[in-house]
Structure 1
């Protein structure tokens, strides 16, 4: 990782220096990240692709977050602690960790050989998951976990999850089950078998969805988690009296008493997800793995929407 002089340490990274599609991605060498107070340097074993990565690259969040070019994209990571910064006693060199490594601005991400990560984002890697699975857990897992827990999901309640076979939804159904809830999940019929394996009662998308849910749960759903968008009418049609609902894809839910969700880094929540994984109650499905220099192909596969499971990249 060095050129002989520690002051000239560099690493391989995928970067872009302007907004656009996958054509703006390049394989480059970048300075090794500085390790500030409360941070550790992580040697990346695997990093996972999330739709937000290519949406940011296209400029979709430029009005929400500051961007410093060149950008190394990526927020999900599983790796090994290479160096510990000042005031980071929670971790030691050699620790195997996972993180949703979102920082306060867009610049130094996880599609590289190394990434600096604040300890507020880090948790120990669950031993039960492979490196690829572990890398796919943080962002999607935290999104599902924080949505369900902020809605106050309790044992014995009925939960409906829209897009239950998706990356966030498939983790959401497992988390809801771990919380003791009965889980209904919307998905295309081709994915119903997978949902049943996860302990979920599948419901087909499309016209008649409200009636199909009501047939299974006549009193309605106590909690509805929308992980796809465009389903507010169906949500309100199946919501039980006093029920709670939230969406990660439709901010209009706030007009009908719902919550508009955005995931935040949380070492505590990530540690809880790791615990569920090691107890055998949570697993991550990996769809495909790419080498670092094929990140553009990984992004294009993610953009296609025709993937079931996480896409991971190996530096």
Structure 2
């Protein structure tokens, strides 16, 4: 039987003030689909960015939110989830969904994986977007054991994922951060260095040969220092400065690119396994009730939360 639910939508392009929490009917799952009752919705800057202005192929109203954690309440016939067999009642996470800011939703079963047991729903709902982005960044610069990388934005959500995944590979990371984020960078195995004037000189003073650079912030400083310290531009990657990448001949990646989407889809199961074994965690800053999505999104846009945010239905 179809579920009554609520979800957040953008009825017009623009800021969160225009978003609306509306009643909806969640359809029964068909073959290859599952229905998840949402216990937490992950929050990412892309949630706001992708409804701020018109996008090709996207029609209003737009359901908001890309990742969730909850439990499976219905399964379509002859259906397996991304991690294998499942049944009603199994706790699951899902990534690259449409309309995760919701109380329930029906989605393609291949997007769902069993929730890692060590993570709370709020943490698990934030695992895969940041995790797959970080994993792709490391893959694209061919990070390998013994390398030293420079990571811009090391204390942010993607940065912390890079630090953890790099440590598992035996890769040393020098991470740019504010003073407030220095302890977080150390906690996850990085070497913190303050951003700002003189950054390149402070990195050089560490006397560690930087083989690659990963930019998760997109500032001119991040790009300029990366170009100054890494001679091989095939080993510089950004997720936030596509214009500078095109200008200077280094790599810019995004989940909307087919090659990036395929790589990120392929790494989902491994990230879930690492989290389930306690080798990968998600620092959480705070949670908000689902009804406070607009306030939470404004906080995410204007502050440095020091961890991920989640909406709780």
Asked whether the two chains share a fold, i.e. TM above 0.5, the reply is yes
| Aligned-partner Cα distance in 2 for 1:150–1:83 | 38
Aligned position for 1:262: 254
Aligned position for 1:105: none
Q: Which moved more, 1:278-287 or 1:140-149?
A: 278-287
Q: Which moved more, 1:47-56 or 1:251-260?
A: 251-260
| Aligned-partner Cα distance in 1 for 2:175–2:123 | 22
Give secondary structure in 1 for the equivalent of 2:192: strand
Aligned-residue offset at 1:164: 0.3
Give secondary structure in 1 for the equivalent of 2:49: helix
Tell me how large the CA RMSD over aligned residues is.
2.0
CA deviation vs aligned residue, 1:178-228 (integer Å, no higher than 9, x gap):
121011100012211121111110011011111111122443x22211000
Give secondary structure in 2 for the equivalent of 1:67: coil
Aligned position for 2:171: 181
- Are the aligned partners of 2:7 and 2:21 in contact in 1 as well (CA < 8 Å)? yes
Find 2:32's aligned residue among 6, 15, 38: 38
Find 1:153's aligned residue among 135, 143, 146: 143
Find 1:233's aligned residue among 224, 229, 240: 224
- Are the aligned partners of 2:39 and 2:70 in contact in 1 as well (CA < 8 Å)? yes
- Are the aligned partners of 1:33 and 1:114 in contact in 2 as well (CA < 8 Å)? no
Say if 1:85 and 1:223 are closer, same or farther in 2 by CA, change over 3 A. Answer: farther
Find 1:222's aligned residue among 211, 215, 218: 211
| Aligned-partner Cα distance in 1 for 2:88–2:159 | 34
Find 1:169's aligned residue among 118, 141, 159: 159
Aligned-residue offset at 1:313: 0.3
Say if 1:242 and 1:54 are closer, same or farther in 2 by CA, change over 3 A. Answer: closer
CA deviation vs aligned residue, 1:74-97 (integer Å, no higher than 9, x gap):
001111112222452233322222
CA deviation vs aligned residue, 1:275-294 (integer Å, no higher than 9, x gap):
22233332111111011111
- Say if 2:11 is the partner of 1:17: yes
| Aligned-partner Cα distance in 1 for 2:241–2:30 | 36
| Aligned-partner Cα distance in 1 for 2:21–2:233 | 52
Say if 1:63 and 1:167 are closer, same or farther in 2 by CA, change over 3 A. Answer: same
- Are the aligned partners of 1:77 and 1:101 in contact in 2 as well (CA < 8 Å)? no
Gaps of 5+ in 2: 256-260
- Are the aligned partners of 1:119 and 1:267 in contact in 2 as well (CA < 8 Å)? no
Give secondary structure in 2 for the equivalent of 1:229: coil
- Say if 2:116 is the partner of 1:129: no
Aligned-residue offset at 1:267: 4.9
- Say if 2:285 is the partner of 1:287: yes
| Aligned-partner Cα distance in 2 for 1:303–1:119 | 31
- Are the aligned partners of 2:215 and 2:239 in contact in 1 as well (CA < 8 Å)? yes
Q: Which moved more, 1:172-181 or 1:9-18?
A: 9-18
Say if 1:150 and 1:92 are closer, same or farther in 2 by CA, change over 3 A. Answer: farther
- Normalising by structure 1, report the TM-score: 0.88
Aligned-residue offset at 1:162: 0.4
Give secondary structure in 2 for the equivalent of 1:145: helix
Aligned-residue offset at 1:118: 2.0
| Aligned-partner Cα distance in 1 for 2:170–2:194 | 23
Find 1:70's aligned residue among 51, 57, 61: 61
Give secondary structure in 2 for the equivalent of 1:295: helix
